Amino acid sequence: MSYTVETAARTAPAAVIVAIDGPSGTGKSSTSKAVAAKLGLSYLDTGAQYRAITWWMLNNGIDVTDPVAIADAAGKPVIVSGTDPSAPTITVDGIDASGPIRTQEVTSKVSAVSAVPEVRTLITELQRSIAKAAGPGIVVEGRDIGTTVLPDADLKIFLTASPEARAARRSGELKGADVSATREALLKRDAADSSRKTSPLAKADDAVEVDTSDLTLDQVIECVVTLVEGKRAAK
C-alpha cells in the first residue's frame, strides 16, 4: 500500500478544541495538562494570564481597587503564554512570571482585576488567538471558556467538587495551609467569580459535568481523555 500525504491526513487525529471550566481546587490544571500531554495537544492556562496582568498592575503601582485605573493600564503589558503542556510558560514584558503570579498577594487581587471588562476583553482576544493557532488542537482551562471565550469548542467540560475536597487539595498544594481558612477563601473566590457582570464563572449548557470529589487525579484524567477521544472519533 502506498503512503501519501492524503493518507496521512486521513489517519491523523482530528484537531479538537477542548474547554475545561470550573472553580479552584477541582483539578483543572493538573487534568488539563495531563490530557493535553497524553493526546498531543497544546495547553493554555487562562487563569495564569489574569494572574500575570494582576502581577504587572501591582508591580507598576496601579490601584487594583480602582476599575478605571485598571482599565486605563490594561493594554500596556505584553503577556506571552507558552502552550507546551509539559512545560507551560508565561512571560510579562519578556520577564518570566510563572513564579511571581502564584503569590498570595496576586491571588487575593486577581478576582478584582479580572472583573474589569476591559481586562477581560483584551485577555479573551489573546486566548482566542492562541486557540486558533494551535494546529493539532488545544486544551484551554479557565472559568468562562465554554461560555464566553470559546463557545464553539468541540468539547466542553465543567469540573466540580465539594468545598471540602477542594479545600483539602488546595491546602496540600500550599503545604500545610489551614483547611478551614482555605475553604473560606475558595468560597469567597467562587462568589466573586460567579457574580461578576462580565463573563462570570458558569457551566455552559452543553458542557459535560464531572464531579471530582471522590475521584483520584488519574481517574479524572482517564475520564476526560475518553471524552476527548470520543469527540475526535466523531469528527
State pLDDT tens for residues 9-59: 456 678 899 999 999 889 999 999 999 999 999 999 999 999 999 999 999
- What the block records as the C-alpha cell of 181 is 481558612
pLDDT of residue 2 exceeding 90: no
Decide which of 40 and 167 is more confident.
40
CA distance 208 to 82: 27
Torsion 93-58-195-166 (CA) sign: positive
Which range of 2-6, 20-24, 60-64, 179-183 scores highest in mean pLDDT? It is 60-64
CA distance 123 to 127: 6
For 94-143, the pLDDT digits (tens) are 999 999 999 999 999 998 999 999 999 999 999 999 999 998 999 999 99
pLDDT of residue 3 exceeding 80: no
Using CA atoms, how far residue 45 sits from 36, 90, 101, 180, 234, in Å, is 12, 9, 12, 27, 26
Using CA atoms, how far residue 185 sits from 61, 101, 171, in Å, is 25, 17, 11
CA distance 44 to 145: 11
Work out the number of other CB atoms within 10 angstroms of the CB of residue 50: 23
The pTM (predicted TM-score) of the whole model is 0.87
Do 159 and 28 touch, CB atoms closer than 8 A?
yes
Residue 8 has a pLDDT of 41
Work out the number of other CB atoms within 10 angstroms of the CB of residue 76: 12
Average pLDDT, whole number, for the chain?
A: 90
Do 103 and 92 touch, CB atoms closer than 8 A?
no
CA distance 33 to 205: 24
Beta bridge partners of 42: 138
DSSP 3-state helix, strand, coil percentages of the chain (rounded to 5)? 50, 15, 35
Residue 90 backbone zone (phi > 0: left; psi -120 to 50: alpha; other: beta) = beta
Percent of the chain with pLDDT over 90: 71
Rg of the Cα trace of the chain?
A: 18
Half-sphere exposure (CA, 13 Å, Cβ side) for 222?
5
Task: Read off the amino acid at residue 80.
Answer: V
pLDDT of residue 172 exceeding 70: no
Residue 197 has a pLDDT of 79
pLDDT of residue 7 exceeding 50: no
Lowest-confidence pick of 19-23, 188-192, 224-228: 188-192
pLDDT of residue 4 exceeding 90: no
CA distance 138 to 85: 10
Residue 16 has a pLDDT of 96
pLDDT of residue 212 exceeding 90: yes
